[in-house]
Amino acid sequence: MHKRKLGKSNLEASAIGLGCMGMSFSYGPPKDKQEMTSLLRAVVERGITFFDTAEAYGPYLNEELVGEALAPFRRQLVIATKFGFDLSGGDNRPGVAGLNSRPEHIKEAVEGSLKRLKVETIDLLYQHRVDPNVPIEDVAGAVKELIQSGKVKHFGLSEAGAKTTRRAHAVQPITALQNEYSLWTRTPEKEIIPTLEELGIGLVAYSPLGKGFLTGAIKENTTFDSSDFRSTLPRFTPDALKANQALVDLLGSIAQRKKATPAQIALAWLLAQKPWIVPIPGTTNLNRLEENIEAVAVELSPDDLRGIDTAASKIKVEGARYPERLEKMTGL
């Protein structure tokens, strides 16, 4: 597996990481712990060194799973986690759990994450969502103290806007911004990517396969259980899925020519955008995992990339990526 550096930092990660959320949260009930432990260890064997979790996934279940499963390999890995939700009520469903990035709460959250992850230092600590009630300078200052005390190595933000990123970076240099980025969510291209390039910050792309849609496995008649987060998303209504199929068809036509899969083309496209972008597709399936890893070997020429951009520019993506109440929590 090739390695990439996140921006100007010395944090090196495998070119493709693993988003662990779906193992415990958001995509139906938590998966079997033993099966997921085996999968996580298979991931390490295949060269992936970058793992993404959060205290909110469960809550806490995902960090516990990741910490236990990866303990034997800890020194060779980079594990990222997140703070920023008030989980005291035990309900962390999107839009239900409130935000809390008060400095004292950040420090409490980190102590919990350290224990669950079975580590002495968190490699990369993100603010999960920007808290409008706490100045970002105070958040960055709290993380700076945690870095100085040796409990955290690198600071990151998730779904923050360009201005917030600049303000935080001025207090404590940011190693990575984690935002949704894929062929059907290209909003970071307008302000975020130029800002990151200027400041020397890496981009960790979550949902690089459009929450499964860009794999081609989801059709207009696909139904989602109420425990599956996608059942609440405007972009996953039958009408939107039908309209957005054009994007999957585009990926499929290129995949056929390249002897690849639509998912591999979607990931290869992301990898080709900037050398400091690391996608973190999630999966609970070993075959899908191996498919994703093989995307690193797919080469898209400048002509291929221009062709994809030209064709994609003619496709209007239907449906908002989040309901309005959740969209308000992004891009501050």
Give this prediction's pTM: 0.96
- Asked if residue 248 belongs to a domain, the reply is no
Instruction: Please compute, for residue 315, the number of CA atoms within 13 A of its CA located in the half-sphere on the CB side.
Output: 24
- Asked if residue 250 belongs to a domain, the reply is no
Residues tagged active-site: 57
- Asked if residue 228 belongs to a domain, the reply is no
Per-residue pLDDT tens over the stretch 126-160: 999 999 999 999 999 999 999 999 999 999 999 99
Query: What's the structural domain count of the chain?
Result: 1
Specify the residue for token string 């995509």. Answer: 27
- Asked if residue 158 belongs to a domain, the reply is yes
CA angle 73/79/83 to nearest 5° reads: 145
CATH number at residue 186: 3.20.20.100
Return d(Cα 238, Cα 83) in angstroms, integer: 34
Residues listed for the chain = 332
Residue of 101, 79, 273 lying closest to 194 (CA atoms): 273
- Asked if residue 49 belongs to a domain, the reply is yes
Confidence band of 251 (pLDDT split at 50, 70, 90): very high
- Asked if residue 197 belongs to a domain, the reply is yes
Asked if residue 163 lies in contact with residue 132, where contact means CB atoms within 8 angstroms, the answer is no
- Asked if residue 140 belongs to a domain, the reply is yes
- Asked if residue 316 belongs to a domain, the reply is no
Q: Which domain holds residue 82?
A: 3-215+273-298
With 0-12 / 13-18 / 19 or more C-beta atoms within 10 angstroms meaning exposed / middle / buried, residue 78 is buried
Per-residue pLDDT tens over the stretch 72-117: 999 999 999 999 999 987 665 555 679 999 999 999 999 999 999 9
* Rounded alpha-carbon distances, angstroms, from residue 185 to 47, 266, 319: 28, 12, 11
Question: DSSP alpha helices (H): ranges in 133-178?
Answer: 136-148, 162-171
Return d(Cα 19, Cα 157) in angstroms, integer: 16
DSSP bridge pairs for 99: 85
